[in-house]
């Protein structure tokens, strides 16, 4: 004899099946928007970025050989004073996003929904987890093999220098022997974020062959100015780009993105974003 049907249990089971199969699924949490997502993704995951970086250092190797053969060649025109032809050769290279890949910190900011902070940046530096930019280590070793002293001119601070040196050493970069080749910001009173005084310090004893960096400020001190003034300085040095000045791509941060809002970080993120949008030169759009 079949079991007696329990009407209440049948209704409950039917309701559960309706919820599971007929009702719409709960909406997933929205993914937070972040202005830097594509830039960090490109630097971390794309072969295009790796190719661009490797190409820059391949060019640097060729230019290094040319510079060694030409005693009139200097990569520090504003700081190198005559006579310099017989001085030992050197190259000046920025650290962050030129030799050292800090995209882990950039990715952390994207995922955490936060922005740059000196305290968290120092914690990242002290973790000594920066990686080598593609092509950077081979170039530095090649320069050393040619008798060229490699100087790392970085805007990491003097307090961050010990961890920076250890990170560079762990990656295998040549460290200069009995010469201190890591020149950090604030090590001396006049060693500010503008790097001209440090290039001049090197140029007193060395012929600077090349200057390699990812930010306009790695080459000139007039980088925290308006877009028009930056362009004027760029044009004034147009013969140097790709010759004695080699640029690495860095779309994640730099003076390029702060120029539209006057490098004024007191402005809110919305104000900064509005200024950057206003600086764009868009297509007029399709005709109605």
List of domains in the chain: 35-264 (3.40.50.1000)
Question: What pLDDT, on a 0 to 100 scale, did the predictor assign at position 30?
Answer: 84
For residue 28, what pLDDT is reported?
73
pTM for this prediction: 0.89
Bridge partner list, 152: 93, 182
Structural contact between residues 109 and 115, judged by C-beta atoms closer than 8 angstroms: yes
The confidence score (pLDDT) of residue 2 equals 47
The candidate with the shortest Cα–Cα distance to 238, out of 77, 96, 71, is 77
H/E/C letters for each residue in the chain? Answer: CCCCCCHHHHHHHHHHHHHHHCCCCCCCCCCCCCCCHHHHHHHHHCHHHHHHHHHHHHHHHHHHHHHHHCCCCCCCCCCCCCCCCCCCEEEEECCECCCEECHHHHHHHHHHCCCCCHHHHHHHHHHCCCEECCCHHHHHHHHHHCCCEEEEEEEEEHHHHHHHHHHHHHHCCCCCCCCCCEEEECCCCCCCCCCHHHHHHHHCCCEEEEEEECCHHHCCCCCCCCHHHHHHHHHHCCCCECCCEEECCCCCCCHHHHHHHCCCCCCCHHHHHHHHHHHCCCCCCCCC
Sequential pLDDT tens for the chain (288 residues) = 444 545 455 544 555 444 445 545 556 778 889 999 999 999 999 999 999 999 999 999 999 999 999 999 999 999 999 999 999 999 999 999 999 999 999 999 999 999 999 999 999 999 999 999 999 999 999 999 999 999 999 999 999 999 999 999 999 999 999 999 999 999 999 999 999 999 999 999 999 999 999 999 999 999 999 999 999 999 999 999 999 999 999 999 999 999 999 999 999 999 999 999 999 999 999 998
């Amino acid at each position: 004899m079949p079991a007696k049907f329990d009407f209440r249990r049948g209704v409950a089971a039917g309701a559960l099946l309706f919820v599971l199969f007929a009702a719409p699924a709960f909406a997933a949490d929205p993914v937070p928007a972040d202005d830097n997502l594509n830039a960090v993704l490109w630097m971390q995951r794309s072969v295009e970025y790796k190719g661009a970086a490797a190409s820059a250092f391949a060019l640097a190797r060729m230019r290094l050989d040319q510079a060694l053969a030409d005693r009139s060649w200097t990569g520090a025109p504003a700081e190198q004073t005559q006579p310099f032809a017989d001085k030992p050769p050197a190259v000046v290279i920025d650290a962050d996003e030129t030799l050292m890949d800090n995209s882990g910190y950039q990715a952390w900011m994207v995922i955490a929904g936060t922005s740059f902070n000196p305290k968290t940046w120092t914690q990242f530096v002290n973790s000594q987890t920066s990686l080598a930019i593609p092509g950077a280590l081979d170039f530095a070793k090649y320069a050393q093999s040619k008798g060229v002293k490699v100087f790392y001119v970085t805007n990491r601070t003097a307090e961050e220098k010990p961890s920076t040196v250890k990170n560079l050493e762990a990656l295998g970069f040549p460290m200069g022997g009995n010469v201190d080749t890591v020149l950090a910001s604030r090590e001396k009173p006049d060693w500010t974020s503008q790097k001209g005084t440090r290039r001049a310090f090197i140029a007193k004893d060395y012929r600077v062959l090349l200057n390699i960096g990812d930010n306009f400020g790695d080459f000139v001190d007039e980088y925290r100015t308006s877009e028009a003034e930056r362009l004027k300085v760029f044009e004034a040095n147009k013969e140097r780009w790709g010759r004695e000045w080699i640029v690495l791509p860095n779309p994640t941060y730099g003076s390029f993105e702060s120029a539209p809002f006057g490098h004024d970080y007191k402005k809110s993120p919305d104000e900064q974003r509005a200024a950057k949008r206003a600086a764009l030169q868009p297509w007029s759009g399709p005709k109605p």
